[in-house]
Structure 1
């Protein structure tokens, strides 16, 4: 048995003609959204839409981003040109899968409307930068206790657009979370001699912004490591965001240890796997020396610390 349904609507979703070959009727009509039979409203997630009046029944939660438009307007009053799949706002950052470059495409509203070879990201970007000790790669002391997240930074890029969804500027803001070793011992959000740079930028139209954050174990853990023949780790993150027209560039760097990942809107940009902790933060015997005091019995071993000076190594560009 073949079931045929036909329905014709205006550009704003008001039904003119609806025909069915049997009594079965799908509630998913205009834009594939569910129609509430009792109220005649479509549910979009962010609110209810009335196709008869062509307006939202509540204020658009992102209306502050479009000051030139009514907070109740649907698809900028032009549903032929614009789609509003969530009832919130168009979402337009995309990533070139070949070059890795991120740029603004005002015509992209979802992965379906994104050009071939590109990944749809969204109107706003959330970068997650996470530094962690990988338990499988850890060769230091105390078994798996030190493993886990050490530093997680979040950098958000919020787009500001005009009524035609052209990118005007971006806001950039950062936040950090310094984790506890083993979920118990709180780490420190700094490293001696290094600087932290937080971001809180409004209305950037071009140029570069660099975020930098360092972390280390606290004094108690640091003393314990030294007693076992190891030095503290400079857990370091640097992220530079550049805006040039509609192109957004990203570079990221970490120190030599530990592992790290960077993602944007849940799309992974890189993963760095830590080297040996013993080889990079331990010490090696270089010889022996005579004791300063004759009261000491025997030669004293001389060690060379293996940890390199704090530095940034590029992981993504």
Structure 2
């Protein structure tokens, strides 16, 4: 697919029947109207205008609230339909689809990757410290953001095709490892996956009072004994000891990853509570 500077389709050819709805700037195209959905509003690439007023129009006095990228799409981008940003050039774009699987939706020649959720909202970019939780589209949605980030890393760790594609693209275009490496993304994905069941157990314990299983009750005692009798772990039948040991080890691994990831500041997004 090739586009004009403002996003109107110039050439579209397909080798197969798979026609992704995510096209210009990895945004979803409404086939019936020909408009793109950017989150805050819709964009018409044929007219090169937004279909509604910029929610942050006061930031751009003197400009029409319907203009796209201050009429300079080569220099600027507007990923949310609200704020103009300096264009960082083309890059490989990965998107979490509705099934929680990573899809490569755009190949380019830069040495970094950008990840989006199923709604086209940016999650993070591999060559810069993420500031996404401070952005408008994620305001008040930290839990959702964290879960999607964990899903990205787990997909990189689990899906061999995804990781192999990233490695191949890194060989073709290089890969900026100043913030994070492919191996680190895969490693933290494995950590999140391994600790997931433990977190589920801990969440269950935390929710126990809602089931009427109060501390010291006969029901809790029965559950504990049943758990010990069927559980076979690294220390025998002591699930409490295993949870503690493994959680500490996994947590240390994630903290080590965070130290490499921009001196640990990114860790604020992944606190395990």
TMscore range, shorter length: 0.3 to 0.5
Q: Scaled by the length of structure 2, what TM-score is found?
A: 0.34
Larger helix percent: 2
Q: Scaled by the length of structure 1, what TM-score is found?
A: 0.30
Larger strand percent: 1
Which has the greater radius of gyration?
1
